[in-house]
Copies of this chain bind each other. A is one copy, B any other.
Amino acid sequence: MEDVQSRHDAREIPLEQVGVSELRYPITVLDREADRQQTIATVELSVNLPHHFKGTHMSRFIEVLEAHRGEVTMFTMPALVEDLRERLEAERARVCMRFTYFVERAAPASGARSLLDVEARFIGESGESGDELFELGVRTPVTSLCPCSKAISDYGAHNQRGFVDIACTFTPDAQGERQMIWIEELIEIAERSASAPIYALLKREDERHVTMQAYDNPVFVEDMARAAAVALRADARVASYRISAENDESIHNHKAFARTSWRRP
């Protein structure tokens, strides 16, 4: 059978990314408390395509993914990306996996235990020159209470569900090994930047606690982005970050947002 993809292409248009997306796949990720956590990723795999090839062999993306079925972490990602790059005979390869991640937590007053879900993602890239990238991203739901509404009202203050999305890359340690930051650590930074954390299960005494905690800690969406930025700059393991904070405004039918990024000099 003819290999149509390998035909010569004369248009001289290189393609930065060719691949597959919106592929669902079960993966196992590292869990600070439980060692391992099984979840389901939405996967995007791609390589660059030099201008003289007509097409990529798309089935090879799935073959490489199948060959690496199992644990996906910042330590296993480089091998997966490198295998993609070699198997597809490309100069650069990229993997992005988005997945739901659960952390177990105790309610602040009753101690009642429940799970919080965040949306996390790993991005891995690799090029011929040996340069590679690993980025961890976590989108954490939080409660935010408006400082302006509190300051100008005789009582009450509007509040809402917000999200703090943090993506960061890491510096190598003294031995040149890339350092690890847990998903749980980014969740903690996000929650400390907000008015109060969010819980699936709150008994009455807990609801009282978080209601007053939020009222005592009003933050704008700008404050959430900045507080997370301050925490990440202070952590020497962080090489760069991109932060996006947003509020599903309770008094509007739109969102308010703030975004900031930084690279350690």
Contact = CB atoms under 8 A, between A and B. Distances in A.
Interface of A: 1-5, 9, 11, 13-26, 38-40, 46, 49, 54-56, 58-59, 62-63, 66, 100, 102, 112-117, 141, 143, 145-149, 151-161, 196, 198-205, 207-208, 210-212, 214-215, 220-223, 225-227, 229-230, 246, 248-261
Residue among A5, A18, A147 facing the most chain B CB atoms (10 A cut-off): A18
B1 A208 contact: yes
Nearest to A144: B250
Contact of A202 (B116, B159, B251): B251
A160 B160 contact: yes
A226 B52 CA distance: 12
Nearest to A260: B15
A234 to B, nearest CB: 11
Contact of A208 (B11, B113, B117, B152): B152
Copy number in this complex? 4
A4 B221 contact: no
A69 to B, nearest CB: 8
Nearest to A17: B259
Given A1-B204, A203-B59, A256 B212 contact: no
A154 B215 CA distance: 10
A104 to B, nearest CB: 10
A15 B253 contact: no
Contacts of A39: 26, 40
Contacts of A258: 15, 17-18, 49
Contacts of A196: 251
Contact of A229 (B13, B22, B113, B115): B13
A23 B153 contact: no
Given A17-B259, A20-B256, 15 more contacts: A5-B220, A9-B226, A13-B230, A15-B260, A18-B258, A21-B246, A46-B257, A56-B222, A62-B200, A145-B156, A149-B208, A156-B156, A158-B207, A159-B250, A198-B251
A201 B2 CA distance: 19
